[in-house]
Amino acid sequence: MYRYDEFDHAFVKARVAQFRDQVERRLSGEITEEQFKPLRLMNGVYLQLHSYMLRIAIPYGTLAPRQLRMLAYIARTYDKGYGHFTTRQNLQFHWPALRDVPDILEHLASVEMHCIQTSGNCIRNVTADHFAGATADEVADPRPYAEILRQWSSLHPEFSYLPRKFKIAVTGAERDRAAIQVHDIGLHLKKNAQDKLGFAVYVGGGLGRTPMVARKMRDFLPEEDLLSYTTAILRVYNLHGRRDNKFKARIKILVHETGAQELTTQIEREFAALKDSDLKLPHADIQAIQNYFAPPALPPRPEGGGVLVRAADDGNSFARWLRHNLHTHRNPDYACVTISLKGIGDVPGDISADQMDAVADIAEAYAFGEIRVSHEQNLVLPHVARADLRAVHDRLHEIGLATPNAGLVTDIIACPGLDYCALANARSIPVAQEIANRFADEERQEEISMLKIKISGCINACGHHHVGHIGILGVEKKGAELYQITLGGSGDENAAIGEIIGRGFGPTEIADAVETIVGTYLSRRLDASETFLAAYQRLGPAPFKEALYGSHAKAA
């Protein structure tokens, strides 16, 4: 992975010292809350319902064991012993004291981490496919380009005060696991007919109160033009984005109001002026960054094959874990392992300090010291020899992290919701817990097969409900929680925004409603190979509406 150079170290260290001074001045009353608030937000410190919250950037979701151990240390020393992984591959601590934050930042800096640009109207943490650099289906590792974007965008003077926040995601595979089409810029790394690397560029995707799927602005942008084209997009946005209205300030609205064709013309005009400027990436620079992401030397481990073939017939939990929590590695002796942070009844994305330490140990022992965070709030060990899967499973089982449910109905995304968040209108986590408990039976989960439920506690959609196969949005109605259901959303390469199915459901009814939807799918699917999403696309909303709101349904 990328290692800080002298400049990076000095920069982050200076920033910690700066923030320490700002906190001291705030606590002594030298500066007011109004003056301090933008400063704390620039360092990832929010004020939530019960306390401050600190959001730590995990660039493109790549973590080293020493970093995870430091997060465990911080969780124990300064928080309540756990952390929460988010849908943007970051980690949040929900209970830090403001007076401790400078010390926390200093600890983070010692392992090359920080909280810069995890808030504010700037370019946020660049996210990437969590299987990057390991998966069999990618043309190249997208993370070097995410790192180039990170370096370029860090404290970029022109783009530090954009009309609104700006999110970029990168994938190197046709199968989109980074939800690039619902980002402000989505980059799909691909090769052209001449075998040259470049990007399909998507612009103007986003969720929130006005969900939109991005428009493809370029089918192939040569890799050396990455920064000049991105700069062109941001210049047009910075100039014309709606600063007059916070709710219309994201680039998706600009794309919608201007029209994709006209906006492309403006971007291309800007790009033509920048194309041969200093922003053109020299091949040697790309190569230098790529070298940081060189995959580990993977020794041949052919002995894994036979063991797994026998284990797969067992019908036990390990066999299920093999079926669901593995992803095909480009080396047939290896696999990418998903560590589910969705134990039945647990808080999606939460991990205890002890679990963090244990995962760091497992990654060092069996996974070449590489750990990833997925936007689905799970962890990934990208390089595990198939021969070691039993050992890895058993070690994960010991710490309660071997739930065999990746991609299944209980692998639910949920935002922190009203349990923590000052913006939320309803709780998300207890809904996720109840649905997971309802579908706890592993055989039943397998029967249902792939089904993505995503829950947000407000219209800002941190839980990505718009792109859930079943999406749940919590709202407040007459002082009580109410949950609206959307069906048919998808965050992959066939991105789609789910459709609202009808009236909402109360907190005690929402799990029943999900049961009804799943039951309708099971009774109407063509066969076991037809997924929920495929069945919904074939059937449309009618049978689900009928099942939910028929004369005996309990709609709120």
Partner 1 sequence: MKLLAANRLADGEAVWLGPDGQWVEDISAAEVARDADSADRLERIGHEAFLRNEVVDLELIEVEIVNGQVRPARLRERIRAAGPSIHPGLGKQARKSAFTLI
Q: Which is nearer to partner 1, 52 or 293 (CB)?
A: 52
Residue of 95, 152, 220, 549 interacting with partner 1 (CB under 8 A): 95
Q: Which is nearer to partner 1, 82 or 321 (CB)?
A: 82
Beta strand segments in 112-212, E: 127-128, 168-171, 185-191, 197-203
Locate all alpha helices (DSSP H) within 219-339, ordered by sequence.
226-240, 251-258, 260-274, 283-292, 304-312, 317-324
What's the CA gap between 541 and 230, in Å, rounded?
39
Q: Determine the Cα angle at 38 with ends 107 and 124, to 5°.
A: 65
Residue of 82, 93, 166, 229 interacting with partner 1 (CB under 8 A): 82
Residue of 193, 479, 542, 551 interacting with partner 1 (CB under 8 A): 479
Residue of 168, 221, 360, 429 interacting with partner 1 (CB under 8 A): 429
As measured in angstroms, the least distance from the Cβ of 424 to partner 1 is: 8
As measured in angstroms, the least distance from the Cβ of 411 to partner 1 is: 18
As measured in angstroms, the least distance from the Cβ of 94 to partner 1 is: 8
Residue 510 as a binder of partner 1 (CB under 8 A): the answer is no
Show the site string, 347-386: x = touches partner 1 by CB under 8 A, - = not: x---------------------------------------
Binding segment for partner 1 (CB under 8 A), chosen from 79-87, 215-223, 525-533, 536-544, is 79-87
Residue 444 as a binder of partner 1 (CB under 8 A): the answer is no
Residue 33 as a binder of partner 1 (CB under 8 A): the answer is yes
What's the CA gap between 60 and 88, in Å, rounded?
9
Residue 419 as a binder of partner 1 (CB under 8 A): the answer is yes
Q: Give the helix, strand, coil percentages of the chain, each rounded to 5.
A: 40, 20, 40
Q: Which is nearer to partner 1, 6 or 33 (CB)?
A: 33
Residue 476 as a binder of partner 1 (CB under 8 A): the answer is yes
Binding segment for partner 1 (CB under 8 A), chosen from 14-22, 75-83, 118-126, 168-176, is 75-83
Q: Determine the Cα angle at 115 with ends 95 and 76, to 5°.
A: 35
Q: Which is nearer to partner 1, 139 or 344 (CB)?
A: 344
Q: Which is nearer to partner 1, 49 or 391 (CB)?
A: 49
Residue 524 as a binder of partner 1 (CB under 8 A): the answer is no
C-alpha distance from residue 33 to each of 25, 27, 39, 368, 494 (Å): 11, 10, 10, 45, 45
Residue 478 as a binder of partner 1 (CB under 8 A): the answer is no
What's the CA gap between 367 and 68, in Å, rounded?
14
What's the CA gap between 490 and 182, in Å, rounded?
10
Q: How far apart are the first and last CA of the chain?
A: 50
With beta carbons less than 8 A apart as the criterion, state whether 489 and 471 touch: yes
Q: Which is nearer to partner 1, 429 or 455 (CB)?
A: 429
Residue 531 as a binder of partner 1 (CB under 8 A): the answer is no
Residue with tokens 């990505």: 464
As measured in angstroms, the least distance from the Cβ of 291 to partner 1 is: 42
Residue of 10, 21, 38, 50 interacting with partner 1 (CB under 8 A): 50
Residue 97 as a binder of partner 1 (CB under 8 A): the answer is yes
H helix and E strand count, the chain: 18, 20
Residue of 89, 433, 445, 486 interacting with partner 1 (CB under 8 A): 433
Burial 38-52 (b: 16+ CB within 10 A, else e): ebbbbbbbbebeebb
With beta carbons less than 8 A apart as the criterion, state whether 177 and 61 touch: no
Residue 78 as a binder of partner 1 (CB under 8 A): the answer is no
Residue 430 as a binder of partner 1 (CB under 8 A): the answer is yes
The helix/strand/coil state of 350 is: strand
Q: Which residues bind partner 1 (CB under 8 A)?
A: 26-29, 33, 47-52, 80-82, 95-99, 347, 418-420, 424-427, 429-430, 433, 476, 479-481
